[in-house]
Amino acid sequence: MTPGRFITLEGGEGTGKSTQLRRLAAALEQHGLTVVKTREPGGSPGAEQIRKLVVEGEGGRWNPITETLLVYAARADHVARTIGPALARGEWVVSDRFNDSTYAYQGAGRGVERETIRRIDAAVLDDFKPDLTLILDLPVETGLARAGARGGLENRFEGFDQDFHERMRKAFLDIARRQPDRCRVIDATGDKTQVAAAIWEAVQARFAL
């Protein structure tokens, strides 16, 4: 059986990850691949219940370490019930966020020490990581304006101050610099078609499709 592949889309608020995930999944399916589309926090029934705790409500409802543990509880269930089984079946998995978001949001954004996250990550994931991570990069002001326009209840992180979001953006770019073999930075300032083309170019280069 041909092994499945795991692709993640990362970035700050309003960078267009959800839209680009759907476009990428459709492009992969046109190449005859079976694709599972998923997201974090969430992606399994239990993890979706935890998602509501993390992304809804007022900003101070959790302290940073509690928030980190909630995210990893959701991630453990997500990997066990959705991502792992799909990859074992030879399917491709495309996820809107994974563990890089924890280093950016709870780490750089909320001040949890990187080593603390690393230890939790090692215990939960045991070195499991994506085959390719696409980091959608956009100026913070633009991303927050886009995120604000979509509305909805899942706006807890949008309410944090701009410095929080600037730290996150810097953290995502730092992750890309630290792990160039896994990560590609995608300029998300263009229109949806331009961004999708850049993503597809990166995917083709990584997997020789």
CB of 70 closer than 8 Å to CB of 50: yes
Cα separation of 168 and 100, whole Å?
10
Query: What's the CA angle centered on 23, arms 21 and 24, to 5 degrees?
Result: 65
Residue 199: which of 13, 33, 23, 34 has the closest Cα? 23
Tell me the sheet residues that pair with 74: none
All structural domains of the chain, each given as residue ranges with its CATH number in brackets, are 6-207 (3.40.50.300)
From first to last of its 209 residues, the chain has per-residue pLDDT tens of: 678 999 999 999 889 999 999 999 999 999 999 999 999 999 999 999 999 999 998 888 999 999 999 999 999 999 999 999 999 999 999 999 999 999 999 999 999 999 999 999 999 999 999 999 999 999 998 888 887 777 665 668 877 888 999 999 999 999 999 999 999 999 999 999 999 999 999 999 999 88
* CA atoms of 126 and 117, how far apart (whole Å): 13
